[in-house]
C-alpha cells in the first residue's frame, strides 16, 4: 500500500499544475495578509474604557433582540451568543481583542480553507478519471494488485494531499501573520459559546480544532468528487458539481432550513460541526452525534458507490 | 504436451444482453506463441481483456498457471505481462519513472532488473527522457519493457503492431522470438494482420462473432515439404496425358494444380516438355492463412446471414 501511495504522489507532483495550485494558495494568504496590514486598523490599542463599550454593546444587542420578529431565529441566536460572550468578558475582565495579531490572522485564514479544498477537489476529481483519460488505466489494472487496493491508495493520496494543503495554509498564515502582526499581548485565550455557556480555550488548540472542523465539509465534498470521478470517469463533471456544491451548498441548505425541518438530513447541514462547539445549530434539535452519524452515512454511501462501481467495471476503450 | 499456462473453459461474456463471447475454450502451452485472429469486432480484444482481468467474465473460467483470474486475481496476474493496444504511458514522466511506477507494484524488482529490461528493448539512451518526446516505436518498446519487469510466464499483446511501420513491426517480432526462445515465455498475440500472424505464431485461433471457428497449427514448411503448385498449361492436352499417370491433380483456370515436393517440380516440368506441352507459368500455391481465414470467416457469415 505504501508504494502505491508513493506512486500516486509522484503522479501528482510530476505535473506542474500541482505547484501552480500550491503557489496560488500561498499567494492568497499573502494577499489577504497584505490587505489586512494596509487597510486594517493601524494602532489598535486597548481602550481603557472597554468595559463601558462592552456594556453599551450588550444593551444594544438586547434591545435589538426584543425587537426582532420570531422568524429570525438564527439571527437571534447569534445575538444571544454575542451577549453571553460580552457578559463573560465583563465578569472575568477580559478585554475584547480587536487587535490584529498573528493569531487572529490564522483564524481569519480559515476562510481560505475552501480555497485549499478547491484544489484538493481538483486532485480528487482527476485521480481516477485521468487514468481513464490518459488510457493508462489498462496498464495500471493488469498488475497483480486488487482494484480495491488501487482505489484505496488513490483515496488515501487525496486525503494526504488535502492535509498537506491545510498544513501549507496554516503554516503560511502563521508565518505571515506573526511576521506582519506580531504575537499580540500574549493573551492567547479564545472565548467560545457552546450549549448556552461560555468557555475559555487555548488559542493554538482552538485554531487547530477550527481548521480541522472547517475542513470537514471540504473533505466530504472531496470524497464526493472522488466518487464521481470513479463512477463516471469524468473529471470535469466531478470538478464542476463538487465546486458548485462547495460554493452554494451551505447557503441553499440554510435557506431550506428556515422553512423545512428535513434540511437537517442534507449533507451541508451537518458538515459544519463548529455550530455545536461555538455557535448555534442550524435546525433546532440537531446534536453533534446526529451530525456525525449523518456524515458517516454520507461517507459510506460515497465510498460504496466508488468502490462498488470501480471494482466491477469493465475497462473498455 | 507440457502444462497449459493459460486455460479458457467455456468462457462467455454478455454485455447488455448481447453475447460478445460465446462459450470459448482453448489452452495455451508453455513456450508457445498463440495467435488470436478475427475480423474487427469478433471479440479478440474482449477475450484478451478477460484474460488480464480488465473485463469481467459472465460465465466460465479462465485459469492462469493454475490460478483463477476471478477468484485469485493477484496470484493469476503475477504471471502475466501485457500490452493492451498501444501502450498508453504517463507522458509527463520519463521512461524510467514510468518503469519505476510499475516496478513498485510488484515485490522484489531491483534497479538492476530495470536496467536489464531497458537494455533488452534498446532504450538505454533515451530512458531518462520524458515519454511525450518518444516516437510510437519507442513507446511500444517501453510498453514491452513495462511488461517484462516481473518476468511473467505469459505475455499478452493486443494488436501490438497497430500503427507501427514495417521496421517497428519486425522489431516487435524479433523481441517476441527472443523471449520465447530464451525465457520460455508463452505469448498470446491478437491481430487482424494475417501475414504478421503467420510469421509470428505457432498456433492460431480464428474467432468470429465471439465463437471459436478454428484452431490451426501454422504450417511448418520445414517438416511438411509437400505443396500445391500451379502449372499454366494447355488444359486439354495435359489432362489427356495425366489421366494415365498416378498423379492426383485439380483442374484450375488455364491450368492444373498438383501436390508436389520441391524436388519433383523440375521433373514435372521436364515431363511436360517432353510430352510437348507448353508451360506458360509455374508457381507454388501455398494455402496461406489468408485463404483459410477468408474461407472460414465467410462461411461463418453465410451461416449468420
pLDDT reported for residue B303:
45
Assigned CATH topology for domain B227-284: Alpha-Beta Plaits (3.30.70)
Query: How many structural domains are present in chain A?
Result: 1
CA distance linking residue B268 with residue A34, whole number of Å: 101
Low-confidence ranges of chain B (pLDDT < 50): 1, 221-223, 302-305
* Chain centroid, CA A165 distance in Å: 12
Three cell numbers written together for A87 = 457578559
For residues A189-204, give the mean pLDDT.
71
- A314 in B contact zone (CB under 8 Å): yes
- CA of residue B247 relative to chain centroid, distance: 36
Q: How many CB atoms lie within 10 A of CB B4?
A: 18
φ and ψ at residue B213, rounded to 5 degrees: -95, -40
CA distance B25 to B7: 8
Task: Flag whether A66 is in a domain.
Answer: no
Task: Look up the domain containing A153 and give its range.
Answer: 2-44+99-312
Query: Alpha carbon of B209 to those of A315, B18, B159, B201: distances in Å?
Result: 20, 11, 18, 22
CB-CB under 8 Å, A316 with B49: yes
Maximum pairwise Cα distance, chain B: 75
Average pLDDT (A72-90) is 76
Domain boundaries, chain B: 4-217, 227-284
For residue A140, is it within any domain?
yes
Q: How far apart are CA A175 and CA B99, in angstroms?
A: 40
For B35-91, write each residue's pLDDT tens digit: 888 887 788 888 888 888 888 889 889 999 889 988 888 888 889 988 777 778 999
Distance (Å, whole) CA B62 – CA B230: 45
Per-residue pLDDT averaged across A79-86, rounded? 79
Average pLDDT over residues A23-30: 92
Write out chain B residues lying below 8 Å of A136, CB-based. Answer: 88-90
User: For residue A9, what pLDDT band results from cuts at 50, 70 and 90?
Assistant: very high
- Could B104 and A6 be called an inter-chain contact, meaning their C-beta atoms sit closer than 8 Å? yes
Q: What is the pLDDT of residue A151?
A: 94
CA of A147 vs chain B CAs: smallest distance (Å): 10
- Residue A100 in this model has a pLDDT that exceeds 50: yes
**Residue with the larger pLDDT of the pair A278 and B156:** B156
* Residue A88 belongs to a domain: no
- Band of the pLDDT at A317, cuts 50, 70, 90? low
**Is there a contact between B73 and A312 if contact means CB atoms under 8 Å apart?**
no
Question: Measured between alpha carbons, how far is residue B277 from residues A246, B144, B234, B260, B274 in Å?
Answer: 92, 56, 7, 19, 8
DSSP state of B94: B
Nearest CA in chain A to B74: A144
Identify the residue with better confidence: B127 or A269: B127
Q: What is the pLDDT of residue B2?
A: 54
Is A92 within 8 Å of chain B by CB? Answer: no
Residue B283 and residue A129: Cα distance in Å, rounded? 57
Q: What is the DSSP string of chain A?
A: -HHHHHHHHHHHHTSHHHHHHHHHHHHHHHHHHHHHHHHS-S--PPPTTHHHHHHHHHHHHHHHHHHS-TT-HHHHHHHHHHHHHHHHHHHHT-----S--HHHHHHHGGGGHHHHHHHHHHHHHHHHHHHHHHTTHHHHHTSSS-HHHHHHHHHHHHHHHHHHHHHHHHHHHHHHHHHHH--TTS--EEEEEETTEEEEEEHHHHHHHHHHHHHHHHHHHHHHHHHHHHHH--HHHHHHHHHHHHHHHHHHHHHHHTT-GGGGGSHHHHH-THHHHSS--SSTT--HHHHHHHHHHHHHHHHHHHHHHHHH-----
Given strand B249-252, what is the order of strands in its sheet?
A: B249-252, B255-260, B227-233, B279-284
Pairing of strands B186-191, B154-158: parallel
Residue A81 located in a structural domain: no
pLDDT of residue A208: 85
Q: Is B185 helix (H, G, I), strand (E, B) or coil?
A: coil
Let me know if residue A280 belongs to a domain.
Answer: yes
Cβ separation of B89 and A146 shorter than 8 Å? no
Partner-chain contact B85 A138, CB within 8 Å = yes
Whole-number Cα distances in Å, B87 to A22, A133, B41, B147: 32, 13, 20, 10
Residues of A in contact with B77 (CB under 8 A): 142-145
> Percent of chain A at pLDDT above 90?
24
**Chain segment B245-267, per-residue pLDDT in tens:** 777 777 777 788 887 777 888 88
Query: What is the pLDDT averaged over residues A106-126?
Result: 88
Flag whether A65 is in a domain: no
Class for domain B4-217, per CATH? alpha beta
Q: Is residue A71 a part of any domain in this protein?
A: no
Q: Which residue has the cell 504522489?
A: A9
CB neighbour list of residue B74: distance below 8 Å, 6 or more residues apart = A144, A145, A146
Among B45, B54, B56, B42, smallest CA distance to B210 is for: B42
C-alpha cell at A221: 465534498
Which residues neighbour B242 within 8 Å (Cβ) at sequence distance 6 or greater?
B249, B256
Q: Which of A7, A134, A142 sits opposite B53 (nearest CB)?
A: A142
Q: Which three cell numbers stand for residue B60?
A: 466460465
Average pLDDT taken over every residue of chain A:
83
Task: Evaluate if residue A300 carries a pLDDT over 90.
Answer: yes
CB B259 within 8 A of CB B227: yes
What residues of chain B, 55 to 94, have a C-beta less than 8 Å from chain A? 55-56, 73-78, 80, 82-93
A6, A15, A136 member nearest B89 (Cβ):
A136
Amino acid at each position: 500500500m505504501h508504494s502505491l501511495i508513493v506512486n500516486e504522489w509522484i503522479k501528482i507532483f510530476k505535473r506542474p499544475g500541482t505547484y501552480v495550485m500550491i503557489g496560488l494558495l500561498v499567494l492568497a494568504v499573502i494577499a489577504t495578509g497584505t490587505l489586512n496590514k494596509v487597510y486594517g486598523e493601524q494602532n489598535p490599542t486597548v481602550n481603557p474604557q472597554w468595559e463601558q463599550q462592552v456594556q453599551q454593546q450588550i444593551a444594544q444587542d438586547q434591545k435589538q433582540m426584543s425587537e426582532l420578529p420570531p422568524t429570525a431565529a438564527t439571527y437571534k441566536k447569534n445575538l444571544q451568543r454575542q451577549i453571553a460572550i460580552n457578559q463573560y468578558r465583563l465578569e472575568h475582565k477580559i478585554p475584547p481583542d480587536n487587535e490584529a495579531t498573528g493569531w487572529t490572522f490564522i483564524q481569519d485564514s480559515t476562510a481560505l480553507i475552501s480555497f485549499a479544498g478547491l484544489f484538493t477537489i481538483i486532485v480528487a476529481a482527476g485521480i481516477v478519471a485521468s487514468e481513464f483519460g490518459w488510457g493508462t488505466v489498462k496498464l495500471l489494472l493488469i498488475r497483480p494488485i486488487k482494484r480495491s487496493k488501487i482505489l484505496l491508495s488513490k483515496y488515501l493520496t487525496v486525503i494526504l494531499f488535502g492535509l498537506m494543503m491545510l498544513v501549507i495554509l496554516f503554516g503560511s498564515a502563521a508565518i505571515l501573520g506573526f511576521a506582519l502582526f506580531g504575537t499580540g499581548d500574549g493573551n492567547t485565550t479564545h472565548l467560545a459559546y457552546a450549549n448556552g455557556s461560555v468557555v475559555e480555550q487555548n488559542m493554538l488548540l482552538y485554531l487547530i480544532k477550527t481548521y480541522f472542523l472547517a475542513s470537514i465539509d471540504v473533505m466530504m465534498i472531496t470524497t464526493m468528487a472522488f466518487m464521481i470521478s470513479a463512477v463516471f470517469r469524468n473529471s470535469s463533471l466531478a470538478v464542476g458539481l463538487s465546486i458548485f456544491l462547495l460554493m452554494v451548498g451551505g447557503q441553499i441548505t440554510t435557506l431550506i432550513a428556515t422553512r423545512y425541518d428535513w434540511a437537517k438530513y442534507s449533507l451541508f447541514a451537518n458538515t459544519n460541526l463548529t455550530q455545536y462547539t461555538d455557535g448555534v445549530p442550524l435546525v433546532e434539535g440537531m446534536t453533534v452525534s446526529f451530525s456525525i452519524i449523518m456524515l458517516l452515512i454520507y461517507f459510506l454511501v460515497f465510498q460504496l458507490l466508488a468502490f462498488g462501481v470501480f471494482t466491477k467495471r469493465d475497462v473498455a476503450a | 504436451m507440457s502444462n497449459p499456462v493459460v486455460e479458457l473453459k467455456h468462457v462467455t461474456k454478455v454485455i447488455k444482453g448481447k453475447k460478445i463471447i460465446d462459450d470459448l475454450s482453448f489452452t495455451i502451452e508453455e513456450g508457445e506463441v498463440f495467435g488470436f485472429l478475427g475480423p474487427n469486432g469478433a471479440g479478440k480484444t474482449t477475450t484478451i481483456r478477460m484474460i488480464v482481468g480488465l473485463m469481467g467474465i459472465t460465465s466460465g473460467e479462465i485459469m492462469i498457471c493454475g490460478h483463477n483470474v476471478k477468484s485469485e486475481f493477484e496470484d493469476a496476474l503475477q504471471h502475466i505481462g501485457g500490452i493492451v493496444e498501444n501502450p498508453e504511458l504517463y507522458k509527463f514522466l520519463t521512461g524510467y519513472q514510468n518503469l519505476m511506477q510499475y516496478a513498485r507494484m510488484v515485490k522484489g524488482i531491483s534497479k538492476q532488473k530495470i536496467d536489464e529490461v531497458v537494455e533488452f528493448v534498446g532504450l538505454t539512451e533515451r530512458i531518462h527522457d520524458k515519454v511525450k518526446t518518444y516516437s510510437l516505436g519507442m513507446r511500444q518498446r517501453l510498453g514491452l519493457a513495462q511488461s517484462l519487469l516481473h518476468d511473467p510466464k505469459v505475455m499478452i499483446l493486443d494488436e501490438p503492431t497497430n500503427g507501427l511501420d514495417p521496421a517497428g513491426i519486425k522489431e516487435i517480432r524479433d523481441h517476441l522470438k527472443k523471449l520465447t526462445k530464451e525465457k520460455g515465455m508463452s505469448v498470446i498475440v491478437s491481430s487482424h494482420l494475417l501475414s504478421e500472424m503467420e510469421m509470428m505464431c505457432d498456433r492460431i485461433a480464428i474467432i468470429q462473432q465471439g465463437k471459436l471457428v478454428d484452431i490451426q497449427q501454422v504450417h511448418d514448411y520445414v517438416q511438411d515439404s509437400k505443396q500445391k503448385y500451379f502449372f499454366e498449361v494447355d488444359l486439354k492436352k495435359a489432362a489427356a496425358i495425366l489421366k494415365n499417370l498416378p498423379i492426383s491433380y485439380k483442374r484450375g483456370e488455364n491450368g492444373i494444380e498438383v501436390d508436389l515436393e520441391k524436388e519433383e517440380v523440375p521433373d514435372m516440368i521436364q515431363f511436360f516438355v517432353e510430352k510437348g506441352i507448353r508451360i506458360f507459368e509455374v508457381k507454388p500455391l501455398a494455402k496461406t492463412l489468408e485463404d483459410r481465414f477468408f474461407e472460414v470467416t465467410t462461411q461463418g457469415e453465410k451461416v449468420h446471414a
